[in-house]
């Protein structure tokens, strides 16, 4: 049995990246996929949070290295203010530390910019379907989120709820093993 598409409604997206050329390329990629409306483009973290609260998009795509408020902090704030909005983080640096921070902030996905042309659309589709999507070095990991996935809390460290750590424990274990294998393979050379 295959899952039905939730609806034919267009997906509403907010883009946040401090480089105008990257925002233009992301917009073109999203709009060429069809069924996506980019509601706004912003260049810093505080504006991303404000626009997410004003527009209530289906998804926000954030660069992790935004000025004034980084993408991880902005993701945590957006998840608090707009719990139904899915957050995808993008980064040129695919360090697993960033992926872990993204997960702890409540992001539903992380895509390295080196693979954005290949993985952004599948990542967006999966997170909107209630799954996670974390891509590292050309591979990805996805799983279904629990029905009541926790949102970050301002009282927890880094604005995160402790239970969020246990929600992503299987992925964190996989990520540690993956990173260890990748480092070992690079050393063998």
Tens digit of pLDDT per residue, the chain (189 long)? 333 444 568 999 999 999 999 999 999 999 999 999 999 999 999 999 999 999 999 999 999 999 999 999 999 999 999 999 999 999 887 777 888 888 888 999 999 888 888 899 999 999 999 999 987 654 444 544 444 444 444 333 333 333 334 444 444 455 455 455 555 655 665
145-173: buried (b, 16+ CB within 10 Å) or exposed (e) per residue?
beeebbbbbeebeebbbeebeebbeebbe
Contacts of 177 (CB under 8 A, 6+ apart): none
Q: Domain residues of the chain, as ranges?
A: 11-188
Q: What superfamily in CATH does domain 11-188 come from? A: Response regulator (3.40.50.2300)
**Predicted structure pTM score:** 0.71
User: pLDDT for 14-65, tens place per residue?
Assistant: 999 999 999 999 999 999 999 999 999 999 999 999 999 999 999 999 999 9
For residue 64, give Cα distances in angstroms to 56, 67, 101, 154, 180. Answer: 20, 9, 10, 19, 23
Q: Strand pairing of 86-91 and 59-63?
A: parallel
């Amino acid at each position: 049995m295959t899952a039905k598409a939730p609806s034919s409604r267009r997906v509403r997206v907010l883009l946040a990246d401090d480089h105008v050329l990257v925002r233009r390329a992301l917009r073109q990629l999203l709009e060429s996929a069809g069924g996506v409306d980019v509601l706004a483009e912003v260049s810093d973290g505080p504006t991303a949070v404000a626009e997410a609260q004003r527009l209530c998009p289906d998804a926000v795509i954030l660069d992790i290295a935004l000025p004034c408020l980084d993408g991880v902090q902005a993701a945590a704030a957006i998840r608090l203010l707009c719990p139904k909005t899915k957050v995808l983080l993008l980064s040129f640096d695919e360090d697993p530390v960033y992926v872990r921070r993204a997960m702890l902030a409540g992001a539903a996905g992380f895509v390295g910019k080196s693979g954005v042309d290949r993985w952004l659309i599948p990542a967006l589709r999966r997170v909107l379907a209630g799954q996670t999507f974390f891509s590292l070095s050309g591979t990805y990991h996805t799983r279904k989120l629990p029905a009541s996935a926790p949102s970050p809390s301002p009282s927890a460290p880094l604005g995160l709820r402790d239970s969020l750590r246990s929600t992503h424990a299987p992925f964190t274990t996989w990520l540690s093993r993956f990173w260890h294998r990748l480092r070992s393979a690079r050393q063998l050379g």
